[in-house]
């Protein structure tokens, strides 16, 4: 049996659900302690490093691995989770949308490499006064606090490409993605809000930018997506996040 596993976490599942899926496929690990080194949000996919048995004693070593991601940023919308699995933060109107140019994005990304102070997203597991931020966020208690921050480093960032998506295509994709998620993530309310927003924006198409980054451990890609929108003066969120590498572990689909 391996003590370090490179699993592919699919969109819609939590890291714990991925571990349980692995246990079912590999009963020899049934009684072996398994943990993940660096979580991935339900809407994210890709490399998930799993520590088995004695490897858990070296957890810190694997938590600090640098990462590479390829992610899609959807412009024109903002949610409280900074991805599609969130409640829309602002009223959506046609006048809030503008076209995003590739040169504009490239200029912003060229300035990203270096050390930054990044705020934790409201819906994250970072504890605040002993309680995870997402618990306080769901109760509406975060308005009383400043979000905690941490230091990250971006080693490189590049614009891979851009495309447009219609309102009909976007709604179909959002509904597909949210249907993948089990448990209580406010799915019914979220889908209802997306339907309402895209009804208002009927006939509109939206920009999606694909970006690749190499960054330090602890970097929240959905926060980067949200901040990109703030810099450009248009709402933005992470539509898709693929972790392609964690340390020496590269993305692959072979490990069940």
Tell me the CATH number for domain 67-248.
Answer: 3.30.2350.10
Global pTM value: 0.93
Q: What is the pLDDT of residue 243?
A: 98
| Domain ranges across the chain | 4-65, 67-248
pLDDT digits (tens, 9 = 90+) for 219-233: 999 999 999 999 998
Say which residues have a Cβ less than 8 Å from residue 152's Cβ, sequence separation at least 6. Answer: 115, 116, 117, 118, 215, 216, 218, 219
Confidence label for 45 from pLDDT (cuts 50, 70 and 90): very high
Burial 122-160 (b: 16+ CB within 10 A, else e): bbbebebeeeebbebbbeeebeeeebeeeebbbeebebe
pLDDT digits (tens, 9 = 90+) for 163-213: 999 999 999 999 999 999 999 999 999 999 999 999 988 999 999 999 999
- CA gap 123, 204 in Å, rounded: 29
pLDDT digits (tens, 9 = 90+) for 67-120: 999 999 999 999 999 999 999 876 665 556 678 899 989 999 999 999 999 999
């Amino acid at each position: 049996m391996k003590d370090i596993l490179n699993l592919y976490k699919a969109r819609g599942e939590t890291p714990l659900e991925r571990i349980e899926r692995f246990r079912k496929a590999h009963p020899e690990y049934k009684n072996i302690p398994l943990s993940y080194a660096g979580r991935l949000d339900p809407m994210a996919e890709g490399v998930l490093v799993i520590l088995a048995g004695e490897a858990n004693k070296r957890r810190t070593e694997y938590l600090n691995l640098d990462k590479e991601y390829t992610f899609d940023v959807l412009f024109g919308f903002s949610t409280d989770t900074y991805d599609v699995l969130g409640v829309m933060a602002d009223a959506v109107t046609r006048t809030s949308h503008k076209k995003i140019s590739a040169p504009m994005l490239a200029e912003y990304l060229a300035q990203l490499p270096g050390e930054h102070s990044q705020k934790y997203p409201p819906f994250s597991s970072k504890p605040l006064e002993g309680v995870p931020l997402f618990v306080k966020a769901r109760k509406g208690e975060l308005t009383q606090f400043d979000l905690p921050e941490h230091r990250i480093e971006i080693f490189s960032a590049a614009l891979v490409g851009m495309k447009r998506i219609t309102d009909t295509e976007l709604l179909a994709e959002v509904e597909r993605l949210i249907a993948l998620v089990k448990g209580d993530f406010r799915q019914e309310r979220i889908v209802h809000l997306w339907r309402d927003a895209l009804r208002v924006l009927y006939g509109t198409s939206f920009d999606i930018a694909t970006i690749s980054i190499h960054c330090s451990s602890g970097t929240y890609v959905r926060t980067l997506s949200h901040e990109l929108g703030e810099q450009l003066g248009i709402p933005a969120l992470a539509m898709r996040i693929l972790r392609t590498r964690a340390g020496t572990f590269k993305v692959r689909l072979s490990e069940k």
